[in-house]
Structure 1
Amino acid sequence: MCYISEARSIEYFPAGQLLKNLTIETDLERLRSFGMNWDNASLLRSLIEGNCESFHQSLNITTPAMQQVLRQILDCPYHGTIKRIYLESKVLELLALQFHQLALQSCTTIPNW
């Protein structure tokens, strides 16, 4: 999970290996709209409140539930409007799983969001 204002990057990957990359982008207003209590994720809270210009938090784990959602996104069977609704719901599900993981890394109890 990261936010870097006006960043450019170059990534290198070994040749001959299959690579699947999924990037999900959202704006800060969307994150603010969730109305979540960010107390257990101080870096993310600072970003949401406009007190920092970048955020990076490695979760260091992709849970089986996250893997399942990622597979469902990549294998989306729908088209048109139904595809958009389906993918938006899966992205929200993935964000929920990632925020949950972030909360687990930040404290021993899960916050009441």
Structure 2
Amino acid sequence: MEIIKGAGVWAHPGEVGNDWVEQLRTSDLSLGTYCIPVGGRDTQSPHTEDEVYVVMAGRAKIMTPDRTSEVGPGAVIFVPAGEEHRFIDVTEDLALLVVFGPAFGSRTPKS
């Protein structure tokens, strides 16, 4: 067992704009926190792994090619591997607990 301190807790990203911190990694999954400030832009690309977001704090919309939905604290979002998605219209600082299965980047082709 491991207690993961700080997972899903808002941390101001500073000058960079957004903040991703990986807090746990095994071969089968990884977990981290992704923070986007009010008015921030989510510039992520589709991932090669399935992904689950849990909105811990804040409000925004999540957009995929098929739909756009408002999300807030307690929302749980599943995004399958390869699906375009991004958070837009961030109206309150957004803190997301993010789980990847398998671990983030583990399916990315090696160069």
Q: Which TM-score band (shorter chain)?
A: under 0.3
Bigger share in strand: 2
Length-normalised TM-score, structure 1: 0.26
- Please identify which structure carries the higher helix content: 1
Q: TM-score, normalised by structure 2?
A: 0.26
Q: State the structure with more CA Rg.
A: 1
